[in-house]
Structure 1
Amino acid sequence: MEGRRRKMTEEGEGEGDDGAGIGGFARLPEECVARVLAFTTPRDTCRAGLVSAAFLSAAASDAVWANFLPPDCAQILSRAVRPLEYSSKKELYFRLCDPILVDDGGMSFHMERSTGKKCYMISQRTMSIIWSDHPQYWRRIHHPESRFAEVAELLSVCWLHIGGTIDSQLLSHRTTYAAYLVFKLAPDSYGLNSTSQFASVKLGAYALENSVSLQPDNNEDDSDDDDNGGGDDDNDSELEDDDESKDADEDDEEARRKKVKMCLREDGWLEVELGEFYNDEGDEGEVEIKLYETTELHWKRGLIIQGLDIRPKL
């Protein structure tokens, strides 16, 4: 039996093969194999090319990889700041898996590698940042690790309100997306972890609001306990017994806030999820994304913004 398996592997078919399995597939015209692969995913197609020599040519064909490119690929390429050079649709696909600048550098575009879903980052230049035109509050500087020409650095404000929009037509259909603020913190940053700091995402009739933190605070748990207790430490347990409903609500709010704290990206930047939304057919207009703290009005400093990242939530 082992010898027969070896023979099937080496020759592509085995004695008595009735056309099923790899041996039978190998006898199909390349166009038929390519048509089948076009109904799979980019990841599956790459794996299929490793199965046998019969699959290799079909798995690299333009007919397959054209199916994985976005329907508006030609329009995306026309918006690119620099023209892309490629010799095949497969090469173009993987070139587009790395970010390219579009719209005069106001946004970047790339595709999620395993699925081909579209991803965009809105640069800080294209975003709406209140007071950003006042040099005493914000400044725009070059940053060597940014994909854009400039980033926005917060110098000092108490009223924080930033946001951006993207047309849902630009995004992949029938896909759940999440929006992220991509940023860094200056060494002297402060005031960016207020409990009244909120983010919202809106598309059509759908709207979502979250509480977010942009700055780590090692004493956060202690300060929250003090606020929740409303008195001396000796009285904490009595207050919890007297008002269990209030404590439960506060615990829920704290859990929600912790869920959207910042995290480190592979490119060395930080990000925080501002919210998610479902893009059905791309016919609901613009996605509106906001981050704001306009209630407690704490002074803030040191937020360095690269942009808003909108990508599929996998």
Structure 2
Amino acid sequence: MDYFFTSDDLSPTSPGDACRSSPISRRFKSAAESDTIWERFLPSDYEQIILRSVSPVVSATKKDLYFRLCNSPILLDGGNLSFSLEKETGKKCYMIPARELIIIWGDTPRYWTWTSHPNSRFLEVAELRDVCWLDIKGKMGTQMLSQKTTYASYLVFKMAEKYYGLDAAKAYVRLVREVDENEARDKAIIVCLKSKGQHFGRLPKERKDGWMEIEIGEFFNDEGDAGEVEMCLIEIKDLHWKSGLIVEGMELRPKETR
């Protein structure tokens, strides 16, 4: 027997629930794939975000658009930001490219070089030539992120074929209005940039896109009115020379609960 369902019957569900419910009946499938349902799963400001894309974002339906944004990040603001959606929830994810990060000595060719990389979504990545003072920061306004969401921040990177001095570093994430920088540094965690060898901190993981990532901290974005969130990777106490870190950017995405 084919029951009658409307899109309103599905309004409380998640994108995953809507997909799993489609096979129940033809009418349920029609409701589950309607533009009305899938527009509810998209961010309320998705149209304004898409207008900032460097290339056209074309989709036949709102469901197609949803999965387009989940599976293929788009570049915004002339390529100075990357945007995507978290597939299970539709919450916003952003990656800040290396060029938009605050990298101490980043404009000094003796210490850092800027180059293209075939696997990067951005035009440039930063490659560490030789520094003893490693300090990389990224900032973003919390109003840009999904509300009532715990976000994790990740450094997205690779190691050059030849590298040294990059065993570990300190990392922290802070809401600028709420946590003093010195306090955040005192509570910074240890992260390992190498996946092999001796470890005494958080380890990096390989991403589906071929880059490595290391989680550098998390925070709860309540109403999106907490000002800026600052993310930092730093090693300024053990002043040995370091080389071979290739930075694509810093990513903010909802914290995995599983």
Q: So what's the TM-score if we normalise by structure 2?
A: 0.92
Between the aligned partners of 2:94 and 2:220, the Cα distance in structure 1 is 15
> Over aligned residue pairs, what C-alpha RMSD do you find?
1.4
CA shift for structure 1 position 217:
5.1
- Confirm whether residue 209 of structure 1 aligns to residue 188 of structure 2: yes
- Rounded to whole Å, the distance in 1 between the matches of 2:123 and 2:173 is 26
Structure 1 residue aligned with 2:172: 200
Residue 269 in structure 1 maps to residue 198 in structure 2: no
Q: Distance in 2 between matches of 1:40 and 1:182?
A: 32
Aligned pairs for 1:159-238 (under 5 A) are 159-194=133-168, 197-203=169-175, 204-206=177-179, 207=184, 209-216=188-195, 218=197, 220=198
Deviation at 1:70, TM superposition (A): 0.1
Which amino acid counterpart does residue 152 of structure 2 have in structure 1?
A
The unaligned stretches of length 5 or more in structure 2 are none
Q: Is the aligned partner of 1:117 residue 2:59?
A: no
User: By how many angstroms is 1:27 displaced?
Assistant: 3.1
Aligned length: 248
Secondary structure of 1:215 counterpart: coil
Structure 1 stretch 285-294 or stretch 79-88: which is displaced more? 79-88
Superposed displacement of residue 112, structure 1: 0.7
Q: TM-score, normalised by structure 1?
A: 0.76
| Larger CA deviation: 95-104 vs 198-207 | 198-207
- Which of 97, 103, 109 in structure 2 is aligned with 1:135? 109
**Per-residue Cα deviation, 1:63-100 (whole angstroms, up to 9, x for no partner):** 10110000111111111111211122111111111200
Q: Which residue in 2 is equivalent to 1:46?
A: 19
Aligned equivalents of 2:96, 2:252: Cα separation in 1:
8
Q: Give the match for residue 307 of structure 1.
A: 249
The correspondence for 1:147, drawn from 121, 139, 144, is 121
Instruction: State whether structure 2 residue 63 is matched by structure 1 residue 90.
Output: yes
Aligned to 2:46: 73
Partner of 2:79: 105
**Distance across 2 between alignment mates of 1:276 and 1:159:** 24
Higher strand share: 2
Structure 2 distance, partners of 1:263, 1:73, is 30
Give the greater-gyration-radius structure (CA). Answer: 1
Task: Answer whether contact 2:152 2:252 (CA < 8 A) is retained.
Answer: yes
CA contact (8 A) 1:193 1:216 kept: no
Equivalent residue of 1:93, what SS?
helix
Which of 224, 232, 239 is equivalent to 1:297?
239
Residue deviations 1:279-300 (CA, integer Å, cap 9, x gap): 0010000110111111111100
SS in 2 for 1:96: helix
Of residues 282, 288, 296 in structure 1, which corresponds to 2:230?
Answer: 288
Distance 2:249 2:227 in 1: 21
* Percent of residue pairs bearing the same amino acid type: 50
Residue identity in the other structure for 1:202: R
Distance 1:75 1:91 in 2: 18
The one-letter code matched in structure 2 to 1:306 is E
Summarize deviations over 1:112-132 as a string: whole Å, max 9, x none.
111101100000011011111
Q: Distance in 2 between matches of 1:191 and 1:217?
A: 14
Structure 1 equivalent of residue 4 of structure 2: 27
- Point out the more displaced range, 299-308 or 44-53: 44-53
Q: Is residue 152–residue 219 contact of structure 2 (8 Å, CA) maintained in 1? A: yes
Aligned partner of 1:62 among 35, 52, 56: 35
